[in-house]
A and B are shown apart, each in its own frame.
Chain A
Amino acid sequence: GQNIDQPTEMTATEGAIVQINCTYQTSGFNGLFWYQQHAGEAPTFLSYNVLDGLEEKGRFSSFLSRSKGYSYLLLKELQMKDSASYLCAPVDSNYQLIWGAGTKLIIKP
């Protein structure tokens, strides 16, 4: 079956760094997306990884290891507005995104 595993909730301090891990099992693999979703709003695109390694984009970086079925999202210099859910979504052999429940990130002052 298809499965995504992320921590349900994480807490971090403003200005710090946090890493949100994601392990997945899919039938086929065509890359992995990370989305940010604030409460009551639609998800917004953060990153897309299709090759192994680290992709850096400003304060956010995303890493992928296809052989391990593992990805992480790294958020640096945390700001209060980063409080949101972060969704890891691998793409299966049918090019469909597989969605988990995401990780709720709480930023404290």
Chain B
Amino acid sequence: SAVISQKPSRDICQRGTSLTIQCQVDSQVTMMFWYRQQPGQSLTLIATANQGSEATYESGFVIDKFPISRPNLTFSTLTVSNMSPEDSSIYLCSVLDDREGKTQYFGPGTRLLVL
């Protein structure tokens, strides 16, 4: 299975600042996703990170708030901009492993607390 790493693993940030989360995969993957999971809630898809083009955002998420980069098939970043306490959550990078029947694997997550 694909091995996924995320940096940072956790952070505490001040209101109004921005944080960029990095996601690295050990193999080339077609599809990469960014999810958010607030305490006790289900996973919520933020966007699909597209290589070489703009990300595809889900309803309720916009590029100005969550800019995403995907410069190649093994790396992506998600930025949480102008943070507020409501952005406190776990942010998860996920990839679709085409080698294994399109199973979706998750990175370890980034735990973000906004004060």
Contact = CB atoms under 8 A, between A and B. Distances in A.
Interface in A79-100: 87, 95-97, 99-100
Interface stretch (A17-25, A41-49, A68-76): A41-49
Nearest to B44: A99
A100 B44 CA distance: 9
Interface residues of B, number: 19
A49 to B, nearest CB: 11
Contact of B42 (A42, A95, A96, A102): A102
B99 interface: no
B103 A33 contact: yes
Contacts of A45: 1, 103-105
Contacts of B108: 41-42
A100 B42 contact: yes
B41 A97 contact: no
3 tightest A-B CB contacts, nearest first: A42-B106, A99-B43, A101-B42
Given A40-B90, A42-B107, 7 more contacts: A33-B103, A33-B104, A42-B90, A42-B106, A45-B105, A48-B101, A101-B40
